[in-house]
Amino acid sequence: MRRSKAIRPVINVLVVDDSAIVRKLLSENLARDPQINVLGTAPDPYVARDKIVKLKPDVITLDVEMPRMDGLAFLHKLMQHYPLPVIIVSSLTPKGGQMALEALEAGAVDVMCKPGASYTVSEMSVQLIDKIKAAANVKVSKKKPDASERKPRVKAALSKTTNKIVAIGASTGGTEALRVVLSMLPKNAPGTLVVQHMPEHFTKSFANRLDGLCEMHVKEAEDGDRVVPGTVLIARGNKHLLLRRSGAVYYGQTKDGPMVCRQRPSADVLFKSTAKFAGANAIGVILTGMGDDGARGLLAMKENGAYTIAQDEKTCVVYGMPKVAVSLGATDCSLPLELIADRILKKAAS
């Protein structure tokens, strides 16, 4: 007797974009996945509002640069009155990147760039389908101010600087998770490298935003940047970030290359290079995110003597990457998001 395959629920999607070409392109490519049903499209937030009430989509894709009402203003209203998972699909421009970052802070689940010189239609479609499937499982509630933003944090301090290296990987929900972790680290915390799945231009805006919130200096990584205490390097969108070592000096390398785990930058690439060049001198952290990127790289770090941390399921937006890492035995511990920075500092001082 043959077992019947489990039937996966269909995810109903509404595409919101002022470009008819983009609406057609997204609709056709998303419809190729049997798990996704494109309910319809909307050219602006006013039409989108009516269709959301009528069609009740599970997920919407939203451009942020639109006429009549920009997507950011619409998102704020949506999260106040009818919260649901939103994926930002934005143009690959510095302005689009800044607006997309503000959208993530306003409650959007994830961000994606429109196809262009850096991202083919095929690459974009594969990633967007993955993001939609992850977003459909996210429980979105009305946006509330984070207590950490209302009340200054009491940061721990390292009694002395350290040559430890911290490598962090994150995806869906990671922009907020990274803000929490990095804002709790003192200005002399170990040199840190971060892979957050975001397109180029978006990562520069993200790094600049974090730099204004953290005691450490946060910047988008450039090839050859030294990894020193007090500095955080954010992987550039569409470029892999690797740790390298020359004598006693650690530095970051940015490079092109194929996608790894459907991602560029990839946490696996960062973690494996950190395992090779830092070994037991490193601390690895895997945060909220869809898929399995980073899990095998984190295992390599642990096998080379590094201390490894996963964000726990309860505090993850999407318990994908940490779950796979835990299942592989790649982690020394799983911690709530707000306790991760303290554990990093304790291990760095030991």
User: For the segment 211-259, what is each residue's pLDDT rounded down to a tens digit?
Assistant: 999 999 999 999 999 999 999 999 999 999 999 999 889 999 999 999 9
Q: What is the SS3 assignment for 323-341?
A: HHHHHCCCCCEEECHHHHH
pLDDT tier at 296, thresholds 50, 70, 90: very high
Read off the pLDDT band of 152 (50, 70, 90): very low
Evaluate whether 202 touches 113 at the Cβ level (below 8 Å). yes
Tell me how far apart the alpha carbons of residues 163 and 82 are, in angstroms, rounded to a whole number. Answer: 48
Kindly state whether residues 66 and 177 are assigned to the same domain. Answer: no
The answer to whether residues 47 and 14 touch, using CB atoms and an 8 Å cutoff, is no
Q: Is residue 345 part of a domain?
A: yes
The answer on 283 and 190 residing in a single domain is yes
Same-domain check for residues 157 and 117 = no
What's the average model confidence in pLDDT over 312-331?
97
- Read off the CATH number of the domain in which 331 is found: 3.40.50.180
**In terms of domains, do 114 and 194 share one?**
no
The one catalytic residue among 17, 58, 225, 293: 293
Point out the catalytic residue in the list 171, 205, 273, 334: 171
Domain co-membership, 181 together with 302: yes
Work out the pLDDT band at 96, boundaries 50, 70, 90.
low
Domain count, the chain: 2
Which one is catalytic: 197, 240, 273, 334? 197
140 domain residue, yes or no: no
- Residue at which a domain ends, from 135, 160, 182: 135
Active site residue 197: yes
Q: Looking at the domain assignment, is residue 107 inside a domain? A: yes
Instruction: Look up the pTM and report it.
Output: 0.85
The answer to the question of residue 334 being in a domain is: yes
The range of the structural domain enclosing residue 84 comes to 11-135
Claim to verify: residue 123 and residue 255 sit in the same structural domain: no
DSSP three-state, residue 180: helix
- Do residue 131 and residue 157 come from a single domain? no
76 is catalytic: no
Average the pLDDT over 68-85 and give the result. 89
Q: Is 171 in the active site?
A: yes
